[in-house]
Amino acid sequence: MNLCIIYEYIIEMDNLPMRIHYSISLGLLLGITLLGTLSVSAHDDQQAIDSPDELSRWCKTLVEQHYLAQNLQPRNWREAPVVDGEYYKTNLVFRIDYEDYTAECTVHSGAQRKYVVLKLLGKR
């Protein structure tokens, strides 16, 4: 028995909407496992940020994804999470190829992850 997952994206090209469809066919066991994984990752940005430490972890994930997409590996992380009134903030310092870089994340306390404001401040 196979499981088929169908995805649809709508994009605009030359001001005309285009639909892109693709599907993945998997064995049932693998499909159930993959569906569980997809549902968790698809809803990651829906989860609320309930502490400055949680914001630091999410911010680190976003920064890593950004730099790994450019084939750069951030290392040696230092975090400084703080509460500023109704907002959580965190400053991250990390190294890439012997250079220090900084990033800053801010979010209203209790807001979903998708509302995190990430600023990549570059080299120190």
In tens digits, the chain (124 residues) has pLDDT values of 444 344 444 444 444 544 444 443 433 333 433 333 333 354 577 888 899 999 999 999 999 999 999 999 999 999 999 998 899 999 999 999 999 999 999 999 999 888 999 999 988 8
Q: Where in the chain are the domains?
A: 2-42, 52-123
3-state secondary structure 3-19: EEEEEEEEEEECCEEEE
Question: What pLDDT is recorded for position 44?
Answer: 73
Q: Does domain 52-123 have CATH number 3.10.450?
A: yes
Give phi and psi for 100, each to the nearest 5: -85, 135
Global pTM reads 0.63
